[in-house]
Each structure stands twice: as structure tokens, then as C-alpha cells.
Amino acid sequence: MTTPLRIALAGLGTVGSGVIRLINENGAMIAQRAGRPIEVVAISARNRDRDRGVDLSPYKWVDDMTDFASDPDVDCVVEMIGGSDGPALELARNSLRGGKSFVTANKAMIAHHGMELAGLAENQNLALKYEAAVAGGIPVIKGLREGASANRIERVYGILNGTCNYILTTMEKHGSDFNAVLKDAQDLGYAEADPSFDIDGVDAAHKLAILAALSFGTAVDFDGVEIAGIRNIMAADIGQAKALGYRIRLLGMARIDDGKLFQRVNPYLVPESHPLAHIDGSTNAVVAEGNFSGRLMFQGAGAGDGPTASAVVADLIDIARGDSGTVFAMPVDEMAQSERAESGNRTGKSYIRFVVADKPGVLAEITAAMRDAEVSIESLIQTEKTEEGSVLISMVTHQSMERDVVLSLQKLSDSSSLQGAPVVMHLLSDED
């Protein structure tokens, strides 16, 4: 057998220690598939004494992981730390400048700095791989970059955050409220102590920006993603969506609209007939619609040590085989910054839910604002009283310009009848 691919591993938490376990358990088979062994030669994390449930004694411990970049015994640096900037970014830059291939699971870093890092890698013919950064164990990067590469992708969308999907589908199953389910999810370890990146949609937006770049050949544009999370979704919304034949899912949605890039993370009402409506718990799913392939759906575990390590080691196998490839689906120099499409120009049906004071005339006030903004109401689904004595009013609009829906809500922004900002969700359709 030929020389091993020698890797240095920075970060030994959930994913980093999962990578060591996987290489230990499947090493012989991996060596056959890769054509040579993958060997961990050095490791680093913050706390050398922490028990990580895996024997680390065979590996050289390095206190300062920046040393990996200049270590002649290292071919490839694997970053399993996290964070868009800070030590992860410094390590990525130094490693690539030092001539090392680089593998990461860090979506935040790729979403913010992927173009710069891809430039560094491609200029030197080095691999920069990040399969685990999007949808954990699902081989969607490979699927889009290789399997679907003959297609023009019309749109790419999906359930990109397992924590949100767990919360929404648990609310759906038990009729429970958001805060109660979030607390349970935290107790069970499905949600972080600070869950804001997940529940406010930022994590899904990182992944969406990467998927959009891969799918459309446009520069990664995280700042162009419109982001809304799931904090304001009530059990009543889920019940009312169900009554209409829909389920609520937080979706990342990207497409090219008249030559401009549209990217949004938002809760959507997904028709029960759509496969995404049946993705439950912490599972992730990505749909890509190609002009020749038709609809492709990638589904599986979006997180966890095993699935994420599986994606990381698949990247290492590619590198061991000598496949550095382009970082995205085309050379980074040819990926142009796209103009951003305005969501206001989009047309579709929207679900709108108001919490209002229980007093006469409120419904008339809302419907007048909508009429003035030329938004017509297809159905007023229900009005129901909350325990606090407020009233929930939910409705679905006819096909409307999104700009007009926003205008109708602006007309109500000073209303003393409204208690809190209305919640708006789009109904997923083939035109989204």
C-alpha cells in the first residue's frame, strides 16, 4: 500500500472525536476504498485533560494548532472547532497558505469566508472540502457538485436545521407551545443552551448560502439571505395550517429570479402532498430541482457525531484518492456576485396571524388595511381566544405581491388593537 494521508485534527468535541472513532473502526475498509490509509498524526483542542471517550494516547498532542500549518508530517488539516472567524479561520488561512489540504464542518466560516478560502485553495491546487457543513451526514455537497452537475438547478430548498424541525414537529405532534418544547429540547441535548443561531434561522441561512453558490455558480452571499426564525410560531398556527392541509416547516429557499439571486429562510406552510411535509424530528432534507434531473431529494441526519464524522471522512477519502476538484461547482474565479432579487416582487399566497385585543371593530380594521393594500383574503381561517383574553385571527391571502402584504401590515403598525407583530408565512408552491 502507498503512503498514508496524514491528517492533523483541530477540535475534539462531538465531531472531532467522532472522526477519530470512525477512522479507528472503519480504517481498514477506508484504506481499501481510498487506495491508502488515512492516519491521524496530530491532534489539538483547548483542554488536554478532558475525557473524550476515545483513546487519544496514540496521537501527538499539539498545544498550538497553528503549528499544523508548517508541520512537514501533515498533509491535511481537519478543522472541527467552529465559529465563522477566530481560531478556525486563522487555521484555515494558515493551513492553505502552508500548502495543506483542508477539511471543515464549519458552515459559518464557509458562508462568510468561503470565497476567500476557495481562492487560496484553488490557486495552489489544494483541496478545501466541507461536506459536513451542510446537512451533516447527507452527501448533498457531493450530490450537487458532482451528481447533479450536468443540470441547470432551478431552485434549491429544504429543511436545513434539525433543532427547528424537531421543535416544529414536536409542537405538531403534541399541540404544545414553542417555549415548552424548546426547554425539553435543551434538556434532551437537541438544542443548545443559547439556541438563537438555530431558532432565529441563522444556521439554516449559512447552509442555504453555500447551497445557492453550489447550485447557481454565484458567489456565496450570506448577507443576501432574508432570515426569519420560528420563535413566534404558536401551537394555534400549526393547528390552523393543518386544517388547511399544510404543515409548518422552517425552509431555506434559493432560486434565480429574472437573473437575480433570491435567498430566504422563513417558516413556510408546506402542502401535505410535498415530501418535505413528512420530514419529522431532527432530520434534514434538501430538494434540488434540475432542468434535466427533475426533483432530487436528499434526506438524512443533519447532525450528530456519527453522521457528521461520516461526511468529514468521505472528504478525506476524496483527498486521499487525489480528488481536490473545484471547491464549489465551478472555479471560484468564475463565480460572479449576483444581484439580489427583492422578495417584494414575488407573488404567492401568505398565511397571516394576528394577536389582537378582544374588542369590536378589530377585524374590520384589519380587512380595511388589506383592502387598501390590494391584498384580498381567500379565507379567514379562524378566530380564537387565548388564555390571556386576546384573540387570534388567522387568514390566508389570495395570490398577492409580497410587497402588498408588507404594505398592509405597515398600515396596521400603529394600531392599538394589535398585540405584537403579525406572523407571516408563505404557502410553498411550485412557483416559490
* Helices (H) then strands (E): counts for the chain: 12, 18
Footprint on residues 302-331 left by ligand NAP (CB under 6 A): 303-304, 308
Closest CA to 426 of 393, 407, 409, 401: 401
Smallest gap, in angstroms, from Cβ of residue 43 to ligand NAP? 9
# chain residues binding ligand NAP, by CB under 6 A = 23
8 near ligand NAP, judged by CB under 6 A: no
- The 10 Å CB-count burial string (b at 16+, else e) for 107-126 is bbbbbbbbbebbbbbbeeeb
Stretch that binds ligand NAP, among 80-88, 165-173, 191-199, 365-373 (CB under 6 A): 80-88
Contact call for residues 300 and 308 (beta carbons, < 8 A): no
Sheet holding 76-79, edge to edge: 60-61, 38-44, 5-10, 76-79, 101-104, 128-129
Closest CA to 424 of 237, 155, 208: 237
Smallest gap, in angstroms, from Cβ of residue 233 to ligand NAP? 24
- The 10 Å CB-count burial string (b at 16+, else e) for 319-328 is bbeeebbbbb
Smallest gap, in angstroms, from Cβ of residue 120 to ligand NAP? 19
Residues 71, 77, 80, 84, Cα dihedral to 10°: 100
Angle at the Cα of 186 from the Cα atoms of 20 and 17, rounded to 5 degrees: 5
Per-residue x/- marks for ligand NAP, 22-61, CB under 6 A? Answer: -----------------------xxx--x-----------
Smallest gap, in angstroms, from Cβ of residue 254 to ligand NAP? 20
Smallest gap, in angstroms, from Cβ of residue 107 to ligand NAP? 6
Per DSSP, the three-state class of 339 is coil
Stretch that binds ligand NAP, among 81-89, 237-245, 321-329, 400-408 (CB under 6 A): 81-89
Distance CA 363, CA 380 (A): 10
Applying CB under 6 A, among 8, 9, 11, 43 the residue interacting with ligand NAP is 11
Q: What are the residues facing 250 on neighbouring strands?
A: 267
Smallest gap, in angstroms, from Cβ of residue 143 to ligand NAP? 17
Among residues 271 and 304, whose Cβ is nearest to ligand NAP?
Answer: 304
Distance CA 19, CA 8 (A): 11
Residue among 207, 242, 260, 359 flagged as catalytic? 207
Applying CB under 6 A, among 30, 41, 43, 80 the residue interacting with ligand NAP is 80
Per-residue x/- marks for ligand NAP, 96-115, CB under 6 A? Answer: ---------xxx--------
Smallest gap, in angstroms, from Cβ of residue 365 to ligand NAP? 45
The residues, ordered by sequence, that sit 6+ positions from 130 with a Cβ below 8 Å of its Cβ are 103, 104, 105, 106, 107, 110, 114, 141, 210, 315
Among residues 103 and 230, whose Cβ is nearest to ligand NAP?
Answer: 103
117 near ligand NAP, judged by CB under 6 A: no
Residues 268, 270, 276, 278, Cα dihedral to 10°: 120
Among residues 43 and 256, whose Cβ is nearest to ligand NAP?
Answer: 43
Footprint on residues 155-214 left by ligand NAP (CB under 6 A): none
Per DSSP, the three-state class of 99 is coil
Applying CB under 6 A, among 38, 56, 81, 144 the residue interacting with ligand NAP is 81
Does the active-site annotation cover 242? no
Residue nearest to ligand NAP (CB): 13
13 near ligand NAP, judged by CB under 6 A: yes
Smallest gap, in angstroms, from Cβ of residue 124 to ligand NAP? 23
335 near ligand NAP, judged by CB under 6 A: no
Long-range contacts of 377-384 (CB under 8 A, 24+ apart): 378/349, 379/244, 381/240, 381/243, 381/244, 382/240, 382/243, 384/236
Stretch that binds ligand NAP, among 14-22, 248-256, 263-271, 291-299 (CB under 6 A): 14-22
Residues assigned a catalytic role: 207
Which residues contribute to the site for ligand NAP (CB under 6 A)?
Answer: 11-16, 45-47, 50, 65, 80-82, 87, 105-107, 132, 136, 303-304, 308
